[in-house]
Chains A and B, each alone.
Chain A
């Protein structure tokens, strides 16, 4: 059974205080790992796809990295507008287009 675990569950940061979110996964064969951002009252919004260990993707203050067992989402010098829940999901090689999601990390950035 595919499993995705995200930590920590919640993270409080001061503006400018960099940090990392963890997504560890167990999957029979990884086809892709996906990061989403979810704002309160909204649906998840796609951020990144990572396909192989060593791959990195960047967007503004966010950088996602991938190893064989986990992915990290690094938030550099965060701003209050980076406050959101960040979701990680995996696509297994035998799951078609289905994704398995982790429980998410709630990030609050205080000014």
Chain B
């Protein structure tokens, strides 16, 4: 059972570079989410998509953009990476809570 698949698992970028994080789910869920996890800060919602064709800002959207490509796929883009965006990024999906998570992308910005 694949569930939620995130690619890549690790990435190192230089300040100012761009990057797209990919997420795909095979559970036929309508809602998808992007979070970042920093030490001591818990999971913070960046963007979410309640259904195909809709996206909304979460708690910390600045510096990010998203695309809901279809019902399965939800991507997160960093247009000009900054060191403050060094974090672990998690994608999740749900039809209704609870949300189901991927294993994350560990992103370092130098």
Residues of A within 8 A of B101 (CB): 43-45
Whether B45 sits at the interface, judged by CB under 8 Å, is yes
Q: Which of A4, A41, A46, A104 contacts B98 (CB 8 A)?
A: A46
Q: How far is the CA of A102 from the CA of B43 in the complex (A)?
A: 7
Q: How close is B5's CB to chain A, nearest CB, in angstroms? A: 11
In the complex, whether A80 has a CB less than 8 A from a CB of chain B is no
A98 contacts B by Cβ under 8 Å = yes
Q: Which of B13-21, B68-76, B77-85, B89-97 contacts A (4 or more CB under 8 A)?
A: B89-97
The contact string, 1 if C-beta is below 8 Å from chain A, for chain B 28-42, is 000101010000111
Whole-angstrom CA separation of A97 from B94 in the bound complex: 8
CB within 8 Å for A43 and B45 given contacts A91-B97, A103-B40: no
Number of interface residues of A (CB under 8 A): 24
Contacts between the two chains (Cβ within 8 Å), count:
54
User: With the chains together, A44 CA to B88 CA distance in Å?
Assistant: 12
Residue A22 at the chain B interface, CB threshold 8 Å: no
A43 touches B42 (CB 8 A): no
Give CA–CA (A101, B36) in the complex, Å.
Answer: 11
- Is the C-beta of B27 less than 8 angstroms from some C-beta in chain A? no
Q: How far is the CA of A96 from the CA of B44 in the complex (A)?
A: 16
Measured as residues with beta carbon below 8 angstroms from the partner, the interface class of chain B is 20 to 34
Complex Cα distance, B101 from A46, in Å, reads: 9
Question: Is the beta-carbon distance between A103 and B50 smaller than 8 angstroms?
Answer: no
Would B102 and A43 count as touching, CB distance under 8 A? Answer: yes
A34 at the interface (CB under 8 A from B): yes
Interface, chain A (partner B; CB < 8 A)? 4, 9, 31-32, 34, 36, 41-46, 49, 87, 89, 91, 96-99, 101-104
Known: A4-B42, A101-B35, A103-B42. 4 other contacts (CB 8 A): A36-B98, A87-B42, A97-B96, A98-B45
Query: 10 A-B residue contacts at CB 8 Å?
Result: A4-B42, A44-B43, A44-B90, A46-B98, A87-B42, A96-B50, A97-B31, A97-B96, A102-B42, A104-B42
